[in-house]
C-alpha cells in the first residue's frame, strides 16, 4: 500500500516539491518523480515501494563492500525496485531500472518488523539497504533502521550518495555506516551516464563525515570513461582531504546493460589507481572484483591485520582497534 512520503512540501496548489534526493523534483498532481516510485496524489506525495522488497538476502558484509565495518560478519540485505540514477553501466539494472510509473509491480511484502526478525534469526549484525538505491525507499529504510537500532542491530546504506543533507540528518540517529559510489570525479560523466551531478555526491560525503558516519567509497573503474590519471588524482585528493582514513575500493568493471561494448578493466589499471590513492595519502586502498588487493595492513608498520579472500574475511588480528604489532589505532567499526 502507498505510504505518505517524508521530506516534501506542497507548492503551487497541488504541486509538490520532493527534497529527499538532489533532483529536488517538482511534481505535478498525478505524476511521479524521477525515481519512478514516489507519486503526487492530490497534492500529497506517496511512496509506492514501502515494505515491498525485490530482494532480501544474507550477505557477507564484505560484499557491500564494507571492509572496516564489522569484518567477518553477516548483513541482512534488502532492496525495493527503483533508483534516482539511470546509469548505463549498472550491475543491478534488472531491479534498479524498473519503476511503479512503468507498471512494474514485482516484489513481495516484507514489513520492517519482519526484516529485523529475519536479521536476528540469521545472526546478522547489521542490515544493509543496498542493491538498488536506498534513498528512493527512504521511509521503509528509516522505519526498519529505527526498529533495528532498538534490537542492537547496526544499519548501513550502499548508496550513490545523491541525497540531500536533510535526508542524512533525519536518518543519522539510526544509520551507522555507508558505502558511497563515487562514480567519477567529473560532472560531465554524471550528467551523461547517470542523469545526475557530481556536486551533490561530494557534498553528501562531506556531510556524512561531519555527522560521524563510518564511510567507505567505491569507484567502478570503466576503461576510457573515468580512469584517466588526472581524474583519479582529483578524486583521491578529495577523499584524502575529507579524511585520509576513508577506505577507497577500486572495482573492476565487467560489461553489462548498456555498456556491453566496453572492455573489462585491466588489473594493471586497478593497480595504477591504487598507487594514485596511496600517493594522495589514503591509508586504505582496496581492489574489488579481483582475487587480490583486499587485505588490510597497518598504515604505520605494514603488519597484516585483516586477511581477506574474495568477498569474505579469513582472519582479523586487531586488538581493541589497534595494530597488534605497533599499537597504532586502526580506523573502523571493528566490534
pLDDT (0 to 100) of residue 41: 97
For the chain, give every domain's residue range.
3-47, 52-294
Nearest to 35 by CA among 172, 191, 163: 163
DSSP 182: -
- Report the relative pairing of strands 26-27 and 154-159 from DSSP bridges: unpaired
pLDDT (0 to 100) of residue 103: 82
DSSP result, 140-172:
HHHHHHHHHHHTT-EEEEEE---B-HHHHHHHG
Average pLDDT of every residue of the chain:
97
Confirm if 188 and 151 have CB atoms less than 8 A apart. Answer: no
Q: Give the cell for residue 172.
A: 543519522
H-run or E-run covering 241: helix 229-243
The percent of residues above 90 in pLDDT, for the chain, comes to 96
The percent of residues above 70 in pLDDT, for the chain, comes to 100
pLDDT (0 to 100) of residue 307: 97
Q: Look up the CATH number of domain 52-294.
A: 3.20.20.70
pLDDT tens track for 132-148: 999 999 999 999 999 99
Q: Which of 28-32, 158-162, 221-225, 307-311 has the lowest mean pLDDT?
A: 307-311
> Terminus-to-terminus CA distance in the chain, angstroms?
38
- Which residue stretches of 35-134 are H helix? 93-96, 112-121
Q: Name the E strands within the chain.
A: 3-4, 8-11, 15-18, 26-27, 38-41, 44-47, 52-53, 55-60, 74-79, 108-109, 126-129, 154-159, 177-181, 214-221, 248-252, 285-288, 296-297, 304-309, 312-316
Rounded to the nearest 5°, which phi and psi values hold at 258? -95, 5
- Angle subtended at Cα 231 by Cα 225 and Cα 236, rounded to the nearest 5 degrees: 125
**Coil, strand or helix at 217:** strand
Distance CA(51)–CA(162), nearest Å, equals: 22
Confirm if 28 and 44 have CB atoms less than 8 A apart. Answer: no
- Angle subtended at Cα 137 by Cα 62 and Cα 44, rounded to the nearest 5 degrees: 170
HSE-CB at 322 with a 13 A cutoff on CA atoms is 8
pLDDT tens track for 301-316: 999 999 999 889 999 9
Nearest to 84 by CA among 159, 153, 12: 159
pLDDT (0 to 100) of residue 204: 98
Confirm if 216 and 65 have CB atoms less than 8 A apart. Answer: yes
pLDDT (0 to 100) of residue 12: 86
3-state secondary structure 66-90: CCCECCCCEEEEEECCCCCCCCCCC
Amino acid at each position: 500500500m502507498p505510504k505518505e512520503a517524508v521530506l516534501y512540501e506542497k507548492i503551487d496548489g497541488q504541486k509538490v516539491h520532493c527534497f529527499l534526493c538532489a533532483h529536488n523534483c517538482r511534481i505535478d498532481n498525478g505524476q511521479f518523480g524521477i525515481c519512478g516510485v514516489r507519486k503526487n496524489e492530490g497534492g500529497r506525495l506517496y511512496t509506492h515501494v514501502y515494505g515491498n522488497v525485490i530482494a532480501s538476502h544474507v550477505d557477507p558484509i564484505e560484499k557491500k563492500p564494507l571492509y572496516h565495518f564489522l569484518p567477518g560478519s553477516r548483513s541482512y540485505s534488502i532492496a525495493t525496485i527503483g533508483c534516482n540514477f539511470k546509469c548505463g553501466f549498472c550491475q543491478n539494472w534488472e531491479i534498479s531500472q524498473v519503476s511503479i510509473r512503468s507498471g512494474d509491480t514485482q516484489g513481495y511484502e516484507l514489513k520492517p518488523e519482519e526484516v529485523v526478525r529475519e536479521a536476528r534469526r540469521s545472526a546478522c549484525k547489521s542490515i544493509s539497504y543496498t542493491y538498488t538505491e536506498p534513498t528512493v525507499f527512504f521511509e521503509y529504510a528509516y522505519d526498519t533502521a529505527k526498529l533495528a537500532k532498538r534490537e542492537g542491530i547496526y544499519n548501513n546504506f550502499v548508496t550513490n550518495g545523491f541525497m540531500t543533507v536533510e535526508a542524512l540528518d533525519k536518518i543519522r540517529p539510526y544509520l551507522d555506516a555507508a558505502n558511497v559510489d563515487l562514480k567519477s570525479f567529473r560532472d560531465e560523466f554524471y550528467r551523461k551516464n547517470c542523469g545526475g551531478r557530481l556536486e551533490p555526491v561530494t557534498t553528501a560525503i562531506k556531510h556524512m563525515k561531519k555527522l560521524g558516519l563510518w564511510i567507505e567509497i567505491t569507484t567502478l573503474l570503466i576503461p576510457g570513461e573515468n580512469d584517466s590519471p588526472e581524474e583519479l588524482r582529483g578524486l583521491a585528493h578529495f577523499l584524502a582531504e575529507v579524511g585520509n582514513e576513508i577506505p577507497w575500493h577500486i572495482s573492476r568493471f565487467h560489461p553489462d546493460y548498456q555498456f556491453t561494448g566496453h572492455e573489462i578493466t585491466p588489473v594493471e589499471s586497478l593497480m595504477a589507481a591504487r598507487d594514485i590513492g596511496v600517493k594522495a595519502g589514503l591509508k586504505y586502498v582496496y581492489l574489488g572484483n579481483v582475487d587480490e588487493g583486499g587485505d588490510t595492513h597497518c598504515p604505520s608498520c605494514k603488519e597484516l591485520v585483516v586477511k581477506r579472500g574474495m568477498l569474505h574475511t579469513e582472519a582479523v588480528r586487531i586488538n581493541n582497534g589497534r595494530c597488534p604489532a605497533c599499537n597504532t589505532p586502526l580506523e573502523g567499526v571493528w566490534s
